[in-house]
Amino acid sequence: MYSEAKNAIPTVDLSPFFNGDEIGRKLATDTIAEACQTYGFFRIINHGIPPKLLSQALDLSKQFFALPDVDKQKVKPMEGWKGLFPAGYARQPEHSKDKNEYFLVFVPDFGLNVYPDQPTEFKRVIEDCYTRLEEVASLIQEIINNFMGLPPNFLKEYNQSRNMEFMTAHRYFPATETENNGISAHEDSNCLTLIFQDDVGGLEVLKDADWIPIEPIEGSVIVNLGDIIQVLSNNKFKSATHRVIRKPTHRHSFSFFFNIDGDKWIEPLPQFTTDIGESPKYRGFHYKEYIQLRVRNKTHPPSRPEDVIHVTHYSI
């Protein structure tokens, strides 16, 4: 652990999980557990991903997004999993409140992806980042499994399919005098999200009614919990509300979404309900049903904010 500024998300050193330091592992596990109950966000360092690789990915992303629109549009999206996640280049619709463009890498069959011709190393670097982020996400899932008090490898076996993961490279447009919204306040619908960003900043997490900036630190990776962990734990662990505020210049970042199989049935686990005498706070649902509702939020935005679907759609 490192000392933190007031209201900064915790920073966790993962090196003990690679060097056999048992005391360090316990400290890191306890810190992540606390972060997952309070912020739903934490920062990891010494995670095994070379900082140079993360920096290179960001540089290549900047080069791609700086291309003329006519060249970016050549990287046409292909249909991903059942048409929900189109791989390739896209941008938010003009009517959207969110102002960003992105390049989506679908999983795990890289043959589904479309890559720009230039720069030539784009595909290699992106796929290397993807593989390494997946490995780190699997480690974080194991840590979460342990502090949730679940049987060994429970979450690994529960979430063994990797066929719905994806990664996106984002570019957020500069703020204007009248608007600065990059991505509206939301929670992620998955299990875990891993983020790395350039030095512009703008990512914020909501805690106790205050928006806490998540400052850029080179080589670090940000982790946040998604709705699935919140439901499984019956609200003991927090799917964090977060947003991106645009700055006077372009902001670049990558997000890796550690997902769960679409056919998986999701409901609070007995370890957090019947085993401890508590009522479930959610009714069960198939994950693909929830994803379809979340995608519809984007493709057909409701006219009233209260009609936007969140995981509370399944609240009891």
Domain range for 110 is 51-314
Tell me the longest C-alpha to C-alpha distance in the chain: 59
What is the pLDDT, as a whole number, of residue 2? 41
- Using alpha carbons, list the distances in angstroms from residue 269 to 118, 188, 242, 283, 305: 47, 20, 26, 11, 30
What are the tokens at 78? 């292909």
78 within a domain of the structure (yes/no): yes
155 within a domain of the structure (yes/no): yes
22 within a domain of the structure (yes/no): no
294 within a domain of the structure (yes/no): yes
Domain holding 301: CATH number? 2.60.120.330
Q: Per residue in 43-98, pLDDT tens?
A: 999 999 999 999 999 999 999 899 888 888 887 665 554 455 667 788 877 767 77
Q: What average pLDDT does this structure show over 280-292?
A: 94
12 within a domain of the structure (yes/no): no
Structural domains counted in the chain: 1
92 within a domain of the structure (yes/no): yes
Q: With the C-alpha atoms ordered 267, 241, 188, 292, is the resulting torsion angle positive or negative?
A: positive
36 within a domain of the structure (yes/no): no
149 within a domain of the structure (yes/no): yes
Q: Per residue in 196-233, pLDDT tens?
A: 999 999 999 999 999 999 999 999 999 999 999 999 99
Q: Per residue in 143-185, pLDDT tens?
A: 999 999 999 999 999 999 887 888 999 999 999 888 888 888 8
- Using alpha carbons, list the distances in angstroms from residue 207 to 39, 97, 157: 6, 23, 32
The answer, as to whether pTM is greater than 0.85, is yes
